[in-house]
Amino acid sequence: MNHGPTLVIHGGAGLMIRKNFPLEEQRKYLDALDESLRAGNAILLAGGSSIDAVETAVRVLEDCPLFNAGKGSVFTIGGKNELEASIMIGTKIHPAGACTLLHTVKNPISLAKTILLDPKNPHVFLGGEEAEKYAKTNGLEIVDPGYFWTKSRWEQHKRRLEKGKGISLAFEDSINLPSLRSKNDNFDYYPKGTVGAVAVDINGIIASATSTGGLTNKKDGRIGDTPLIACGTWADNETCGVSGTGDGEFFIRYGIAQDVAARMKYLGENVSQAASTVIENVKKVGGEAGVIVLDKYGNVAMPFNSLGMYRGYIRTFEGVPHMAIFDEMTN
């Protein structure tokens, strides 16, 4: 069955403790997901391209301080916001654009898209000051670094410093998350999520996009999986589009986004089988992860091995957003 143009999004996976998450706060996140879905779907409904749809959907989440991307980005251990993003189209030559180590580009996903579409640019990946110069030259919105400061993220940064901890990747790799959750429901959650979107348009073309502020108190200069094609982002019309969230080092080491597509291509698995198996395999090696996956027929999968993942999808022929944080979907 072909479901037609479809958009699926996520706002990050992690340790959301349901009983410590008031319903009115949950509603704020669901409303933001709803806004993102409707904005991206408007592009698809008008016959627009999947790349425009995912850019639009992700920009809404980047502009929302609730999510760890754009305005809501976390701080490095040095007290900076360092943003990154990537975008990809699923056609045969796999066009892609990516950027990292950004401090002044308001919407990194738009820079990634510009890198992809610019006929004068031969590169897939730009970073740091040169990427920001490129963004300014191409008319993208540049902001003062203070734009990304938010009280909640700054307090998370300070709490981590007061505990004498940066981000310990050895800790992230070895921690027994299920055991820890069962013993301590007040486990201090530090965002390591992303935002992302995958869409298929009326022409059956898939596009994927991912954007993030990274890990709370990551080392300055750390680059995660989000801007790395095949790790945090992948798109292939013949298999699927993928955007990931969770422990970035696992996504890098295991090439998670492309792994989902590879299982579909070489093992003949469907979207749900491939996505669920990959996420289960990440769990077996100690990683916390979630992915959103979409094929050219509009089949959706959104598995995760954390306590929750902000996520949702909309099919253009229905026009009804479906969102969830925990197990049950809502609209």
Asked whether the beta carbons of 196 and 209 are under 8 A apart, the reply is yes
Among candidate residues 194, 212, 216, 226, the one labeled active-site is: 194
- Contact (CB, 8 A) for 227 and 189: no
E strands, 109-157, in order: 125-127
State how far the Cα of 243 lies from the Cα of 207, in Å rounded to an integer: 10
- Looking up tokens 């596009």, which residue turns up? 207
Q: Are 279 and 257 contacting, i.e. CB atoms less than 8 angstroms apart?
A: no
Distance, CA of 241 to CA of 6 (rounded, Å): 12
What angle is formed at CA 113 by the lines to CA 111 and CA 119, rounded to 5 degrees?
105
**The Cα angle at residue 214 between residues 213 and 219, in degrees rounded to 5:** 115
Whether 137 sits among the annotated catalytic residues: the reply is no
Q: Element (H or E) spanning 87, and its range?
A: strand 83-89
Tokens 């916001």 found at:
81
Query: Within 10 A of 293 (CB to CB), how many other CB atoms are there?
Result: 31
Give the containing element (helix H, strand E) for 85: strand 83-89
> Closest Cα to residue 257, out of 218, 208, 205, 330?
208
Q: Which residues are catalytic?
A: 194
